[in-house]
Amino acid sequence: MNEDATQAATIGVIGDVHLFWDDEDVAFFNRGGYDLLLFVGDLAAYTQVRGQRVARSLRKLRVPAMCIPGNHDGLHAFQLGAEIAPRAHRLRNSFCVGQARRCRRLADALGEVDLVAYGKRRLAPAGIPLNIVVGRPHSIGGRRLACLRYLTETYGVDSMESSIARLSSLVDACDDAPILFLAHNGPSGLGDRADSIWGCDFRRKEEDWGDQDLEAAVSYAKSNGRRVLATVAGHMHRKTKAGKSRPAQLEKDGVLYVNAAEVPRHRRVNGMKRRHHVKLTVTAGDVTAEDLWV
């Protein structure tokens, strides 16, 4: 590449919002000098009405922004419960009815913020060429696909294998610019402890809770000679159920993995309200991540 080595893009990564967003956040990012904002999903909590309020606030952003839907976005509480509770799995396809409509309403509320899933965007923030590959939406992690009926009807994805094929086709559609993966949940293969970056902390048995299709997509990209700079995601909150802390980031085989899910992202520090996000600094061939409370 011929880009100036000193040239850099700054990308703000906002972890699981869960309603912790207001006009001061909008004002900060509008004046913060960022070239691009990436939201890893879960704007809502357990009601879509309040999530749409957050979305309508995001539409005030004057910075290009993208958002992947999380497992709280477009799902009502009963549907989410059926996806999570083993005894209610038989009801999950029934509760999926209306999810496409709810997702359209969310996209409408977001305005020019790009609500995207199973997608690719070729961008050049601050002149730095990037392929943004966006993963599977509404992930809850683990070995099975959440919202299976919706994924099948909307994206033609009915299994982990077909999701891998879909993501691989997105990689094939990229040009030779570096790739950055945006997902709701991170990939498998990065640890099987409860406090691993995407480990399961809510079951008695510790296990890897990352997305197998995302791990396969990153591996596929690298095996085909693609430069993968980073994968940014959230979902598994950094503070575990046992009160331990997950790594905020780690590097493996030349790829930076960032879990931005600092929840809640609004906190009081010495009486002052602070707001969390991750700042990515991207050059033509490298990326760094910095946690910021502002």
Could you read off the pLDDT of 197-252 as tens digits, one per residue? 999 999 889 999 999 999 999 999 999 999 999 999 999 999 999 999 999 999 99
In the chain, where are the structural domains located? 9-293
The predicted structure's pLDDT at residue 2? 43
Quote the tokens at residue 139.
Answer: 């992930």
CB 262 within 8 A of CB 245: no
The arithmetic mean of pLDDT across residues 6-12, rounded, is 93
The predicted structure's pLDDT at residue 168? 98
List all residues 6 or more positions away from 86 whose beta carbon is below 8 Å from its beta carbon: none
The predicted structure's pLDDT at residue 87? 67
Q: Binning pLDDT at 50, 70 and 90, where does residue 5 land?
A: low
Give, in degrees to the nearest 5, the angle at Cα 286 between 252 and 63: 110
Furthest C-alpha separation in the chain: 57
The arithmetic mean of pLDDT across residues 103-131, rounded, is 97
Q: Binning pLDDT at 50, 70 and 90, where does residue 84 land?
A: confident
Q: How many CB atoms lie within 10 A of CB 160?
A: 16
Q: Binning pLDDT at 50, 70 and 90, where does residue 95 land?
A: confident
Q: Does domain 9-293 have CATH number 3.40.50.720?
A: no
pLDDT at 3 over 50: no
How much of the chain, in percent, has pLDDT values that exceed 90?
86
Cα separation, 242 vs 240, whole angstroms? 5
Q: Binning pLDDT at 50, 70 and 90, where does residue 32 land?
A: very high
The arithmetic mean of pLDDT across residues 268-289, rounded, is 94
The arithmetic mean of pLDDT across residues 55-63, rounded, is 97
pLDDT at 89 over 80: no
Give, in degrees to the nearest 5, the angle at Cα 253 between 249 and 259: 20
- Work out whether the CA dihedral 114, 116, 122, 123 comes out positive or negative: positive
Report residue 5: phi and psi, to 5°: -65, -25
What are the tens digits of pLDDT across the range 10-19?
A: 999 999 999 9
3-class state of residue 215 by DSSP: helix
The arithmetic mean of pLDDT across residues 30-45, rounded, is 97
> Cα torsion at 202, 150, 164, 18 (round to 10°)?
-40
- Average model confidence (pLDDT) across the chain: 95
CB 281 within 8 A of CB 287: yes
CB 181 within 8 A of CB 230: yes
Q: How many CB atoms lie within 10 A of CB 4?
A: 10
Give, in degrees to the nearest 5, the angle at Cα 243 between 242 and 248: 115
3-class state of residue 58 by DSSP: helix
Q: Binning pLDDT at 50, 70 and 90, where does residue 6 land?
A: confident
